[in-house]
Amino acid sequence: MDNILLMLPGPTTVDPRVLQAMGKSVVNHRGDEFGVIYDETTELMSKTFQTKNSSYILTGSGTSAMEAALANLVGKDEKVLNVVGGKFGGRFKEIADVHGINAQTLDVEWGTAVTPDMVEEALEADEDIKAVTVVHNETSTGVAAPIEEIGEVMKNYDALYIVDTVSSLAGDAVNVDKFHIDACVTGSQKCIAAPPGLAAVTFSDDAWAAAEKVESNSYYLNMPKYQKNGAKSPAQTPYTPSVNLIYALKEALEIIQAEGLDNRVARHHQAAAATRDAVKALGLELFPDESVSSATVTAVKMPEGLTDDQVRGTMLNKYGVQLAGGQDHLKGNIIRIGHMGVISYKELAITFTALGLTLKGLGKDIDAGAGVAALANHY
């Protein structure tokens, strides 16, 4: 297991410093010592979100943060516009449905990105829309949405702007305040490169004002409770948090600050460009258009005549490199290469060496080293 290289769209490889931090002794989650740690962690999270607003840590996956945003900001029978261009955009709609929210969808073909004009047109057509949900980085398709440009549209409307940055925060440009985002959510195990199991939420003043008027549809994810407990001295969470995972998250966020957020984002974009060129050098075809391609995961069409088991199975079982397959109707049709977190040229070189040898071994008439050679143009 230790020899498997994770090149997934999460979870990602965790720095040894982060793993070591997780091994510290458990402390009382209602005590002063943990209160200081929690405060420092949420402050680091707000720096990473690039917001003046407070942030809150949830013991749960990124989906818990998605649910927290919807359940606290949109009431039963109120309208939310869910942009759906992949599995996780669809998840927002599924959450809304569970909570009795009137979920409208703005459907976008998988592999393409929503445009600001599409969002503006939908808002103009229905003034009762209370919130709009957008997935910044749709890992199921390898597409990045233009959240900054959509924010310029959203600032002109009363509807709240809810953005999922689970697989983009600390890997692509996310500036909550500058992009006019009202509720931003993320997870621990992707670009942040901490272990799975934590999520984070930050709300704008407008979002908190809305939350005060909504009868929350959730007991555990009641965000006013998180706000109230977070303001205590020492700071607390309303329910028992995963203390050791918060140690790990704090360390991972400190690593991000030490690298520099802009530097980290630039590193991810460099890796994405190198990956796309390496894919093409091996004769493979990208799934989305490059103009909307993700900075943290690259989706590739399955090589003609080969199966998912052949390609990903060989990569894993023979070369120890784990890639992700397609989801829903894309299962068996694409492979997904994650390049997020602490990855560098070394991990990409190993990945494309293995991919080149795999394709060659499966009968493809290619130069097995062409992918690695293409990487060199970026490093």
Sheet holding 324-325, edge to edge: 297-301, 334-338, 324-325
DSSP state string for 173-196 = ---TTTTT-SEEEEESSSTT---S
- Predicted pLDDT of residue 300: 98
Q: Are 144 and 166 in contact (CB under 8 A)?
A: no
DSSP state string for 10-57 = SS----HHHHHHHTSPP--TTSHHHHHHHHHHHHHHHHHHT-SS-EEE
Output the furthest CA–CA distance in the chain (Å, rounded).
65
Q: Look at strands 129-135 and 324-325 and give their pairing.
A: unpaired
Question: Which of 122, 113, 74, 118 has its CA nearest to residue 95?
Answer: 74
Where would I find the beta strands (DSSP E) of 74-147?
79-84, 102-107, 129-135, 137-138, 143-144
Q: Which residues of the chain have pLDDT under 70?
A: 1-2
pLDDT tens figures, 96-141: 999 999 999 999 999 999 999 999 999 999 999 999 999 999 999 9
pLDDT tens figures, 62-90: 999 999 999 999 999 999 999 999 999 99
Q: Are 140 and 330 in contact (CB under 8 A)?
A: yes
Q: Look at strands 55-59 and 198-203 and give their pairing.
A: antiparallel
- Predicted pLDDT of residue 215: 86
Q: Which DSSP symbol is given to 287? A: S
Q: Look at strands 102-107 and 79-84 and give their pairing.
A: parallel
Question: Which of 97, 151, 106 has its CA nearest to residue 125?
Answer: 106
Report how far residue 158's alpha carbon sits from residue 79's, in angstroms, rounded to the nearest whole number: 13
- Predicted pLDDT of residue 1: 57
Percent of the chain past pLDDT 90, that is, above it, reads 98
**What backbone torsions phi and psi does residue 70 show, to the nearest 5 degrees?**
-70, -45
- Predicted pLDDT of residue 305: 95
- Predicted pLDDT of residue 216: 74
- Predicted pLDDT of residue 313: 97
Question: Which of 257, 231, 180 has its CA nearest to residue 56?
Answer: 231
Question: Which of 253, 350, 345, 338 has its CA nearest to residue 296?
Answer: 338
